[in-house]
């Protein structure tokens, strides 16, 4: 079972990738994490990536794909894997196809931009102990200071509305065309992100379980063929 998770930054796809990984016992592979791991392990592709990151440059597609290829060849991927954060662009998806990586399902977690902006701009982090809060969903007792240590609650730079908006713009421009790419291949399934994470998780499991079963029409075709033999 080879699955790709798609979704805007802040849509919660990383959380769902982890949930699916735990339920089906297949690894969730986050591109950022495996690049750091390959660099640490000094693999051939890791060394290539290191040369770019040391210059502060983006790691080019062919190196990222090489690292993914190395990772997918490992033992724990035999039963399947989840890709989280890759592909990010149509050319990357095409490269993955060319590499012969068969994808069974692409799960798209769909959340409106306004919801993402509200969610992320409401996050607060304690400057003292790093505890996280949310003005709406998980407020501290007095709304200003940390319940645990009394530290000041701050907004991370990444959560500022203008930063979130610009990341969403990049997503819509570069990554969202993947929906059409995988729709055309008959692999796209969309899960509407719910208010409660547990509800999104349940929908994600249902989508994966129904998506991996043969479609009713396929079963019907098989039955028809058998009948005419």
The contact mask relative to Zn ion for 141-180 (x = CB under 5 A, - = no) is -----x-xx-x-----------------------------
Least CB distance to Zn ion at residue 145 (A): 8
Q: How far apart (Å, rounded) are the C-alpha atoms in residues 111 and 22?
A: 23
Q: Is 197 in the site for Zn ion (CB under 5 A)?
A: no
- Contact region with Zn ion (CB under 5 A), list: 53-61, 110-118, 128-136, 174-182: 128-136
- Bridge partners of 2, per DSSP, are 81
**Nearer of residues 129 and 160 to Zn ion, judged by Cβ:** 129
On whether the CB atoms of residues 28 and 17 are closer than 8 A, the answer is: yes
**Nearer of residues 49 and 126 to Zn ion, judged by Cβ:** 126
Which of 23, 79, 138, 156 is flagged as catalytic?
A: 156
Please give the angle made by the CA atoms of 195, 124 and 30, to the nearest 5 degrees: 65
Q: How far apart (Å, rounded) are the C-alpha atoms in residues 48 and 67?
A: 10
Report how many residues bind Zn ion under the rule CB under 5 A: 8
- Contact region with Zn ion (CB under 5 A), list: 104-112, 127-135, 182-190, 210-218: 127-135
Among 22, 33, 99, 129, binds Zn ion (CB under 5 A): 129
Which of 50, 167, 179, 202 is flagged as catalytic?
A: 167
Among 77, 95, 117, 131, binds Zn ion (CB under 5 A): 131
Q: Is 209 helix (H, G, I), strand (E, B) or coil?
A: helix
On whether the CB atoms of residues 71 and 43 are closer than 8 A, the answer is: no
**Two structure tokens written together for 46:** 């890791």
Neighbours of 156 (CB within 10 A): 12
**Nearer of residues 82 and 126 to Zn ion, judged by Cβ:** 126
Concerning whether 167 is annotated as a catalytic residue, the answer is yes
On whether the CB atoms of residues 215 and 221 are closer than 8 A, the answer is: no
Q: How far apart (Å, rounded) are the C-alpha atoms in residues 3 and 81?
A: 6
Torsion of CA 190, 7, 179, 77, to 10 degrees: -90
On whether the CB atoms of residues 109 and 6 are closer than 8 A, the answer is: yes
**Residue position matching structure tokens 């979704």:** 7
**Nearer of residues 40 and 156 to Zn ion, judged by Cβ:** 156
Least CB distance to Zn ion at residue 15 (A): 23
Concerning whether 123 is annotated as a catalytic residue, the answer is yes
**Residue position matching structure tokens 């990341």:** 167
Q: Is 128 in the site for Zn ion (CB under 5 A)?
A: yes
Concerning whether 13 is annotated as a catalytic residue, the answer is yes
Among 107, 126, 188, 203, binds Zn ion (CB under 5 A): 126
Active-site residues: which are they?
13, 88, 123, 156, 167
Q: Which residues bind Zn ion (CB under 5 A)?
A: 126, 128-129, 131, 146, 148-149, 151
């Amino acid at each position: 079972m080879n699955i790709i998770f798609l979704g805007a930054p802040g849509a919660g796809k990383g959380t769902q990738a982890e949930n699916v990984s735990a339920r089906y016992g297949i690894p969730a592979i986050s591109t950022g994490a495996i690049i750091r791991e390959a660099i640490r392990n000094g693999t051939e592709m890791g060394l290539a990536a290191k040369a770019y990151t040391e210059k502060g440059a983006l790691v080019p597609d062919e190196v990222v794909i090489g690292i993914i290829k190395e990772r997918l060849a490992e033992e724990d991927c035999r039963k399947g894997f989840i890709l989280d954060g890759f592909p990010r662009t149509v050319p990357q998806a095409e490269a993955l196809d060319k590499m012969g990586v068969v994808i069974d399902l692409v799960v798209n977690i769909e959340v409106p931009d306004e919801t993402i902006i509200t969610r992320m701009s409401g996050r607060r982090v304690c400057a003292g102990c790093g505890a996280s809060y949310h003005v709406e969903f998980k407020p501290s007792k007095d709304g200003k200071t940390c319940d645990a240590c009394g530290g000041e609650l701050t907004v991370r730079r990444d959560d500022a509305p203008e930063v979130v908006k610009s990341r969403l713009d990049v997503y819509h421009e570069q990554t969202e065309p993947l929906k059409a790419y995988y729709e055309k291949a008959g692999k796209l399934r969309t899960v509407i992100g719910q208010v409660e994470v547990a509800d999104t998780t349940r929908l994600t499991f249902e989508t994966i379980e129904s998506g991996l079963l043969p479609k009713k029409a396929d079963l019907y075709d098989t039955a028809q063929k058998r009948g005419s033999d």
